[in-house]
Amino acid sequence: GQQVMQIPQYQHVQEGEDFTTYCNSSTTLSNIQWYKQRPGGHPVFLIQLVKSGEVKKQKRLTFQFGEAKKNSSLHITATQTTDVGTYFCAGPWKGGSEKLVFGKGTKLTVNP
């Protein structure tokens, strides 16, 4: 079945270091979405990428969608303690886009 894989599963960084999480889909995606879940909280939508090769920035966060629309990455520059949480990517289900297929997430911890 359709799979969305994320690596790494866990990442621990010192505050100020950069962080990158990668998302790989087994199928071509029409779009990819990124969510952030703070500890004890619920997932919150961050961004959606639609075009092949698209790059979007939100302050210290840079999101990329691969040329083949099967992979994506989220890069955080100079991490802060507020970046702590689990980052999920998700893409529409290939069988009709009725639902999202989520990756298992990358859990980021930041040492102050």
Residue with smaller CB distance to another protein, 10 or 15: 10
Residue with smaller CB distance to another protein, 11 or 33: 33
The CB density around residue 86, as the number of other CB atoms within 10 Å, is 20
| Smallest separation, CB 4 to another protein (Å) | 9
Antiparallel, parallel or unpaired: β 32-37 and 43-49: antiparallel
Give the bridge partners for 108, in sequence order: 11, 85
- The number of residues in the chain equals 112
Q: Would you count residue 28 as binding another protein (CB under 8 A)?
A: no
| Smallest separation, CB 16 to another protein (Å) | 27
Residue with smaller CB distance to another protein, 77 or 109: 109
Give the bridge partners for 103, in sequence order: none
> Which of 96, 83, 99, 100 is CA-nearest to residue 36?
83
- Residue from 22, 103, 108, 110 touching another protein (CB under 8 A): that is 103
Supply 50's token pair: 């639609």
The residues of the shown chain that bind another protein, judged by CB under 8 A, are 9, 30-31, 33, 41-45, 48, 88, 91-93, 96-100, 102-105
